[in-house]
Amino acid sequence: MLPAGIFYVVFFAIPMLCLLVLSFWRAKGFELIPDFTLDNYHKIFTSPLYRALMLRTIGVAFTTALIVVPVAFAISYVMRFVFERRGQLILQIILLSLFSGYLVRIYAWRTILGKQGLLNSTLQWLGIIEQPLEFLIYSNIAVVITLSGLLLPLAVLPLYSAMLNVSRDYIEAARDLGAGKLHTLRTVLVPMVIPGLRTAFAFAFLLSAGDFVTPALVGGSQSMLIGNIVADQFRGIGSNWPLGAGMAFVVVAVMLLAYLTVMRLIRWITRW
C-alpha cells in the first residue's frame, strides 16, 4: 500500500492542493498574484454562462453514461452467460479498439458521422435519405455518440470482471424459485455486480464530463462543454489560471455530487 500511497500523494494530492491554492489567487496582466480571494468562485457561481455549460455537461455526460452502461452490461452478460467459452476472445476484440490512439478514434467517428461520411453515404446509397443527416456531426448527438464509442470498452472491463464472480447457480436458483428474467436481473444479478456498475458508470460519466477534445472536434458550434472553458483559462493571452483552477474544483465537486446521487439511486432501485 505504501508505494500506492506515495504515488497518490505525489501525483494527485499535491498537484490538487497546488491547484486549490491557486484558485484563491488573482491574475493581473501577465502575472499571478498570491492572495486569498473568493472572487473566482463568486464569478463561477454567478455567471449564467458557466451555469448553462455545467448543466449541458451534466446532460451530455449523463446521456452518455445512460447509453454506455446498459450496452456494456448487455455485452458483459452475453460474454459471461451466453458465450461463456468465447468470453475472453470477445473481450480481446473489444479491447483492440483501445490500441488505436484517442485522436485517431475521434477522427474515425468524424469520418463515420460527417455530412459526406460513411453513415450518410450509406443511407443515401440505400435510398433511405435524400439529403445528409446534418445532426449526425457537429452536434450534441455527435458528442454523445463519439463519447459512447470511446468509453464503451472501458465500461465493459469492470462489468465483465464483476460478472465473472457471479456463479451461474445464483441465477438458476432464482429462476427455479419462480423469479422472472427481469426480476432475477434486478434482484440477483445487478446487486451482485454493483461494484462493477459503479466503476463503469464512473468511467462513462466522469470521463465524459471532463472531456474537452471530443466536443472540440465533433461538437460543432453549439456543443461546447465546461471542460473547454476550463482549458481556455490555461492557454494564451487573456488566460486566467486562478479562475480556471476554481472552475476545475467546482466541476469536480458537481460531478462527484451527481455521481454519488446516481449511485444512491441505483442502490435504491435494486433494493426496491
Partner 1 sequence: MDERLKIFLDAKLNADVSRRRFLQGAAGLSTLTVLGAGTHAFAADGKLGGELNFLGWDGEHGGNVAKPFLEANNIKMNASFQSAADEALTRLNTGGRGSMDILTPNKDFQAAILNAGTELFQPLDLSRIPTAAGLFPAFKDAPWLVRDGKTYGIPIIWGNEPCVYNPKKWDAMPPKYTDFADPKFKGELVLLDDPFGNIWLWATSLEMPEPSRLTAAQLQQVLDAMLKVKPNVVTVGASHGDMADVLVRGDASIGVGGWAYQVMIAKEKGVDLVVGSPSVDGTFYWSDSYAIAVDAPNIDNAYGFIDFMTKPESNAALAAELASGCTVEAAYDLMPENIRSMFPYDNVRKPGGGILGTQTVVPPQEPDGDVVGAPAWVEAWQTFKAS
Using CB under 8 A, list all residues that contact partner 1: 27-32, 49, 52-53, 56, 101, 103-104, 107, 110, 114-117, 134, 137-138, 213, 216-217, 219-222, 224, 228-229, 231-232, 235-240
Which C-beta is closer to partner 1: that of 72 or that of 224?
224
| CA distance linking residue 156 with residue 75, whole number of Å | 7
* Nearest distance, CB of residue 116 and partner 1, angstroms: 5
- C-beta closer to partner 1: residue 138 or 160: 138
- To the nearest whole angstrom, how small is the minimum distance from the Cβ of residue 170 to partner 1? 47
The answer to whether the beta carbons of residues 94 and 156 sit under 8 Å apart is: yes
Cα separation, 95 vs 153, in Å, equals 6
Kindly state the smallest distance separating residue 217's Cβ from partner 1, in Å.
6
In angstroms, what is the C-alpha Rg of the chain? 22
Nearer to partner 1, 199 or 223 (CB): 223
Q: Are strands 26-28 and 31-33 parallel, antiparallel or unpaired?
A: antiparallel
Nearer to partner 1, 6 or 14 (CB): 14
CB of 237 to partner 1, least distance (A): 5
CA quadruple 33, 39, 43, 45: dihedral sign: positive
Name the 3-class secondary structure at 31: strand
